[in-house]
C-alpha cells in the first residue's frame, strides 16, 4: 500500500492566512493549518498524497445578502436595480480572483488540479460559457459547485449551461452534497440533496459527477445514483474522521456504506485544511476492507474518474 497512488479529491487553498482563517471560522475545532498553498504541499509530502484537487469556493450568497442589508430601505427601484448590477459585478470579480489564482497555482504545480467555482444564480448562460472557456485556457481541470453556499438544487435549469459546457470540455464536476446548513422552505430538502443530481447524470451521461461528503445524511440517495448511473462518483471528505465517536459511524458501519455505494465509485477526499490527510489515509488503511478496495478508494478510482 505504501507505493499506491493517493489522490485527495477535495482540498481548499487560500490566498492569505487571514482569508483561510475566516473561511474556517464557521467550523468547530482549531485547524492546524491556515490553508496556504505552501502548507498543503507540505501536508501532501508528509502524507504521501501525490495529487490533490484544489476547489475554489466563494460564498456569493452571503456576500450579496451582506451588501443588500446595508442598503437604505427607501432606495428607489431604479437605484436598486443599478446597485444589484454593481453587486453582481463585485461578486463576479471576487470569483475571478479566486479562480484565476487557483489556476495559476495549478499551472505552477502540476500535482494540484484546480477546479473553478461558478454560481449559476449570478451568471447567465453567456457568462457561464465565457468563464468556463477562460478557465480551460488557464488550466482548470474541473468545476466546483456549492449548492448550499449559493442556494440552488442540482437539477435547477439555471445550472444546465454549466453541465453542458463541462461535458463538452471534459471537465469533472465536484458538487457539495448533504445536509449542510438549514433546509430552504421549499419542501425539497437541503440544497445539496443528492437525488436532484439524478436527472443531471441521465441528461449528461459523459459528464463525471463527483458528489461530495458521501451525500452526508442522504447516503441512500448516493447509493441509488451510483447503481443507476456509471458517471456518478462520491468522495469521503468529512465522513471518515473520528469513527466510533458518539454520533459517528463505527468502522463496520463505514464499510457497510462504502460497499453499498460501491467501492468502485468512491474517491478519497479530506477537505484540507479542515482534516489531516495523514490521519484520513490511516483511517482508510485500518478499515476492514480488502487491500484492493483500499487502493481503489485512495487513488485508483480517481485515476479513472479524472483521467490522470
pTM of the model: 0.94
**CATH architecture group of domain 7-305:** Alpha-Beta Barrel (3.20)
As a whole number, mean pLDDT of residues 156-178 equals: 98
Tally of CB atoms within 10 A around 42: 12
Residues 6 or more apart from 282 whose CB is under 8 A from it?
none
Tell me how far CA of residue 63 lies from CA of 92, 134, 211, 230, 250, in angstroms: 11, 24, 25, 36, 38
- DSSP type of residue 215: G
Least confident range of 39-48, 85-94, 96-105, 127-136: 85-94
Q: What percent of the chain is predicted at pLDDT more than 90? A: 79
Residue 233 scores a pLDDT above 60 = yes
- DSSP type of residue 299: I
With H, G, I as helix, E, B as strand and everything else as coil, classify residue 289: coil
For residue 32, the model assigns a pLDDT of: 84
Instruction: Delimit the domains of the chain by residue range.
Output: 7-305
More confident residue, 78 or 40: 40
As a whole number, mean pLDDT of residues 30-36 equals: 85
Cα-Cα end-to-end distance for the chain: 19
C-alpha cell at 303: 485515476
Residue 2's pLDDT band, with cuts at 50, 70 and 90, is low
As a whole number, mean pLDDT of residues 40-45 equals: 97
User: What whole-number distance in Å separates Cα of residue 134 and Cα of residue 225?
Assistant: 31
As a whole number, mean pLDDT of residues 133-148 equals: 97
For residue 73, the model assigns a pLDDT of: 83
Within 1-76, residue ranges assigned H as helices are: 17-24, 37-47, 60-69
List, for residues 54-96, the tens digit of each pLDDT value.
999 999 988 888 888 888 888 888 888 888 889 899 999 999 9
Q: What percent of the chain is predicted at pLDDT more than 70? A: 98
For residue 26, the model assigns a pLDDT of: 67
Amino acid at each position: 500500500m505504501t507505493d499506491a497512488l493517493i489522490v485527495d479529491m477535495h482540498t481548499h487553498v487560500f490566498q492569505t492566512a487571514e482569508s483561510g482563517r475566516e473561511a474556517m471560522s464557521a467550523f468547530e475545532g482549531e485547524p492546524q493549518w491556515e490553508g496556504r498553498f505552501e502548507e498543503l504541499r507540505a501536508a501532501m509530502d508528509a502524507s504521501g498524497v501525490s495529487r490533490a484537487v484544489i476547489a475554489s469556493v466563494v460564498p456569493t450568497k452571503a456576500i450579496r445578502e451582506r451588501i443588500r442589508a446595508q442598503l437604505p430601505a427607501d432606495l428607489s427601484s431604479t437605484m436598486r436595480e443599478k446597485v444589484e448590477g454593481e453587486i453582481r459585478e463585485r461578486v463576479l470579480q471576487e470569483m475571478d480572483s479566486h479562480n484565476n489564482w487557483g489556476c495559476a497555482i495549478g499551472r505552477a504545480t502540476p500535482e494540484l488540479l484546480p477546479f473553478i467555482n461558478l454560481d449559476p444564480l449570478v451568471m447567465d448562460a453567456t457568462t457561464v460559457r465565457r468563464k468556463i472557456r477562460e478557465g480551460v485556457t488557464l488550466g482548470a481541470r474541473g468545476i466546483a459547485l456549492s449548492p448550499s453556499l449559493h442556494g440552488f438544487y442540482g437539477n435547477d435549469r439555471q445550472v444546465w449551461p454549466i453541465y453542458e459546457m463541462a461535458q463538452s470540455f471534459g471537465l469533472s464536476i465536484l458538487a457539495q452534497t448533504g445536509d449542510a446548513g438549514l433546509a430552504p422552505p421549499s419542501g425539497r430538502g437541503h440544497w445539496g440533496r443528492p437525488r436532484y443530481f439524478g436527472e443531471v447524470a441521465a441528461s449528461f451521461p459523459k459528464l463525471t459527477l463527483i458528489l461530495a461528503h458521501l451525500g452526508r445524511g442522504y447516503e441512500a440517495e448516493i447509493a441509488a445514483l451510483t447503481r443507476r448511473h456509471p458517471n456518478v462518483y462520491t468522495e469521503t471528505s468529512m465522513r471518515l474522521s473520528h469513527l466510533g465517536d458518539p454520533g459517528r459511524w463505527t468502522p463496520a458501519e463505514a464499510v457497510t456504506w462504502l460497499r453499498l455505494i460501491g467501492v468502485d465509485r468512491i474517491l478519497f477526499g479530506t477537505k484540507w485544511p479542515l482534516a489531516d490527510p495523514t490521519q484520513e489515509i490511516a483511517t482508510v488503511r485500518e478499515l476492514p476492507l480488502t487491500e484492493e478496495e483500499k487502493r481503489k478508494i485512495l487513488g485508483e478510482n480517481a485515476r479513472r474518474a479524472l483521467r490522470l
